[in-house]
Amino acid sequence: MADFEKLGQFYLGKTCSTELGGTGTDELVLYDARDLTTHAICVGMTGSGKTGLCLSLLEEAAIDGIPAICIDPKGDLGNLMLTFPELRPADFEPWVDAAEATRQGLTTNEYAKKTADLWKRGLAEWGQDGARIRRLQESCEVRIYTPASSAGHPLTVLKSFGAPSPQVMNDPEAFRERIMAAVSGLLALLQIDADPIASREHILLSTILNHFWSAGSAVDMPTLIRSIQAPPFDKVGFLDLESFFPSADRFRLAMQRDNLLASPGFAAWAEGDPLDVASLLYTPEGKPRLAIISIAHLSEQERMFFVTILLNEILTWVRSQPGTSSLRALLYMDEVFGYFPPTANPPSKQPMLTLLKQARAFGLGCVLATQNPVDIDYKGLSNAGTWFLGRLQTERDKQRVLEGLEGAAATTGAAFDRSRMEQILAGLSSRVFVMNNVHEDGPVVFRTRWCLSYLRGPITRHQISTLMAPLKTSSTGTNSRSAFAPPATELAHDDARPVLPPGIPEVFFPIRGRRDGIVYRPSLLAEARVHFVDSKSKTDHWDDVTLVCLAGDSVAADPWEEAEDWDEADLPNLTTEPDAPEAVFRDLPAELTAKRSYSSWTTALKNHLYRNHTLPIWQCPDLRQASAPGETEGAFRAKLRHAAHEERDLQVGKLRARYQSRFNTLTDQIRRAEQKIESEKSQKSQKTLSTAVSVGTSILGALFGRKLGSVSNITRAGSALRNASGIAREAEQVRHAEESLAALLQKQQDL
């Protein structure tokens, strides 16, 4: 395994000199995944290598099993799907720039071969190869979503106005923020610049959503339009409705909304899967996913509308998760310009700021990228724990960055050297970034590694269709409600409304659409509550069940085997009187008019539910985990994956703590060994000097003394010989000390 393949560590590049045009080193830059829970900001001008760094960060997250939602306003993130483990020219050929090949005097095939060779060399220089690309592919699924377009996987937010989760409903502040952001997004789509405090349009729509959501009811677009025309309340605050917002003005607002929904271009918004954060982060099998949400094809108003709704959905999902210090998921926005400005207050700003403040406690890391730091609100800058800073365009940008770094340092109490950082920023070149991480001792200058994905530039909608074609699956289904909505031609019986005996309750399905030519057909409706209790998995759950059985000429003694199971949320608001009194009513089977039939059907219903209504519970004894009621296998596997990450981080932390004392002991031993070497060398030098003086004195005494063999000369010569022998011993001690130091250093390296 390569040195950078470590649990919870993201390989971003290698350190380099802080001087201008600094050269690289072999020291790896490994970023602790948990540091992303305090969020990150990446700033760099065009050509700085910002896109490559951010894609490398997402690649590392994917390899580590961390899912991500990536908002792509420019179309660059689709490059994450261009991964070719074999690195064959044929893999690159459909994606290389044919115009660039022509400019270089090459055919497309030749240019593809040149590009493939470049990618092989680039990966090899950074210790990577095709095997790591394959590992990336196997670790996660990459999928491109295109709201209001079928180029990628379509998404719709028109189904996203359901009542918020209980966690949000029980938090008054979060509930108000959810309403405010949803209404602001809707009005932005209508190109109405509405102040949440002063705008009567904003206040009216907020009151409507508050009315329905407080009752636990979802709001679809037709309901919203009708409620604008005829609100389900008479007063707004202390004013009566007509004084606050006259009916003629409400009608114009409703028509404006209806015209938008009826426009051909807006029809695409009704297609696709509902916006569900858990489904974006994980496949049904529980595999992590990089969900690239491409919004480059949308208008400015549509982008703001969608991003606002998406951020609110993410915020709702975050609040439903248990707290954790490990990284659970990532939210990445490739260009935050216009969505989080310092002075204006667009609809997307409040949910983004709330995420930066609260998401860290739940394991969601936010990474925001921009060309100009002046595009980001100062509160957002101070909430970022990691800064990736590339080449900046203007002196104003540099000063903004320095102010933000000072604010972030002040928030965490970390030291910050402004003059040194200013000097570093002035010397950055392409693909060279400075990482300022509040969790580290100081800034690190590094050169980014080679991306595993092929960076070809922005991906067009046609290219998105090509990339997503293998992932798109055709699905056919039947409308379960078709049995309750017969065609208008089915009007053969001209029967009056039947009369039921007292004690038999009667309800009617509401009419949606035109009211002429309506036929009411009898059905049997059952509502029940099933209680599931299991002490082993700590399950105590009530399940609401609604069954509808269409009655023919007769009703069986046990009709529930053929009944349709309806979700309570999909069940329309039933009425005790028909919406169309002049409609045609079908005859009732005799069994429906006999009260005794309902007792036997109740008994049959209990038996049916006991036999058929189950509650799957997924368990993992090793991690002592059990799924929540209604949790899918994929969601449970995703939870297990995160639980394993938490356990891994815990064990890694224990190992670090366990070996820290040994490392400190070795460091102290190395320091003493170095001091001993210096001491031994000093003693050796003194011995050498003493011996030299003794020998010199002996020679001078012999040359200029009166007697060559005098006693003093002989004594000094003997002393010199003894000192020479001492020098040899001192040299031997120095050598032993150096060997001991080398052994300690090797032991430290091994540790």
Domain ranges across the chain = 1-155+329-469, 505-615, 655-750
Question: What average pLDDT does the chain have?
Answer: 83
> DSSP letters of 438-464?
TTSSS-EEEEEPPPSS----PPPHHHH
Rg (CA), the chain: 37
- Is the per-residue pLDDT at 633 higher than 50? yes
The whole-angstrom separation of Cα 237 and Cα 177 is 19
More confident call, 327 vs 722 = 327
- 180 HSE (CA, 13 A, CB side): 18
The whole-angstrom separation of Cα 583 and Cα 495 is 9
- What stretch of H or E contains 41? strand 40-43
Kindly indicate the confidence band of residue 177, based on its pLDDT and cuts at 50, 70 and 90: confident
More confident call, 245 vs 706 = 245
**Three-state DSSP class for 98?**
helix
pLDDT score of 696: 55
- Is the per-residue pLDDT at 569 higher than 80? no
**In 583-619, which positions are buried (b, 16+ CB within 10 angstroms) versus exposed (e)?**
bbbbeebebbeeeebbeebeebbeebbeeeeeeebbe
pLDDT score of 716: 57
pLDDT score of 487: 37
End-to-end CA distance of the chain: 17
Tens-digit pLDDT profile for residues 44-98: 998 899 999 999 999 999 999 999 999 999 999 999 999 999 999 999 999 999 9
Kindly indicate the confidence band of residue 665, based on its pLDDT and cuts at 50, 70 and 90: confident
Query: Phi and psi for 44 in degrees, rounded to 5?
Result: -175, 145
Note the helical H segments in 517-612.
Answer: 595-612
The whole-angstrom separation of Cα 558 and Cα 607 is 10
Contact 377, 368 (CB under 8 A): no
pLDDT score of 480: 36
Tens-digit pLDDT profile for residues 453-482: 999 999 999 999 999 998 875 333 333 333
More confident call, 580 vs 139 = 139
> DSSP letters of 501-525?
PTT----BPPP-S--TT-EE--EEE
Using alpha carbons, select from 406, 292, 380 the residue that is nearest to residue 39. 380
Helix axes 349-358, 300-319, angle to 10 degrees: 30
pLDDT score of 584: 85
pLDDT score of 697: 57
- Annotate 264-332 with three-state secondary structure: HHHHHHHCCEECCHHHHHECCCCCEEEEEEECCCCCHHHHHHHHHHHHHHHHHHHHCCCCCCCCCEEEE
- Is the per-residue pLDDT at 33 higher than 70? yes
Token pair, residue 93, equals 């050929």
Average pLDDT over residues 143-155: 93
Percent of the chain beyond pLDDT 70? 86
pLDDT score of 477: 38
Whole-number Cα distances in Å, 121 to 87, 127, 254, 497: 11, 10, 60, 81
DSSP state of 431: T
- What stretch of H or E contains 647? helix 633-704
Token pair, residue 438, equals 């509040």
Kindly indicate the confidence band of residue 391, based on its pLDDT and cuts at 50, 70 and 90: very high
Average pLDDT over residues 635-663: 84
Q: Which amino acid belongs to residue 75?
A: G
**Three-state DSSP class for 437?**
strand
Average pLDDT over residues 422-435: 90
Average pLDDT over residues 274-287: 92
More confident call, 667 vs 708 = 667
Place of tokens 């590009």: 115
Helices (H) and strands (E) in the chain, counts: 21, 22
**Three-state DSSP class for 679?**
helix
More confident call, 156 vs 697 = 156
- Is the per-residue pLDDT at 703 higher than 60? no
pLDDT score of 494: 43
Average pLDDT over residues 617-629: 87
Average pLDDT over residues 685-700: 60
Place of tokens 């948990």: 34
Contact 510, 572 (CB under 8 A): yes
pLDDT score of 383: 85
Contact 551, 615 (CB under 8 A): no
Kindly indicate the confidence band of residue 223, based on its pLDDT and cuts at 50, 70 and 90: confident
DSSP state of 343: S
Average pLDDT over residues 186-203: 82
Q: Are strands 386-389 and 432-437 parallel, antiparallel or unpaired?
A: antiparallel
Contact 51, 433 (CB under 8 A): no
Query: Which residues are paired to 575 by β-bridges?
Result: 508
Look up the CATH architecture of domain 1-155+329-469: 3-Layer(aba) Sandwich (3.40)
Kindly indicate the confidence band of residue 211, based on its pLDDT and cuts at 50, 70 and 90: very high
- Is the per-residue pLDDT at 15 higher than 60? yes
pLDDT score of 54: 97
Average pLDDT over residues 130-134: 96
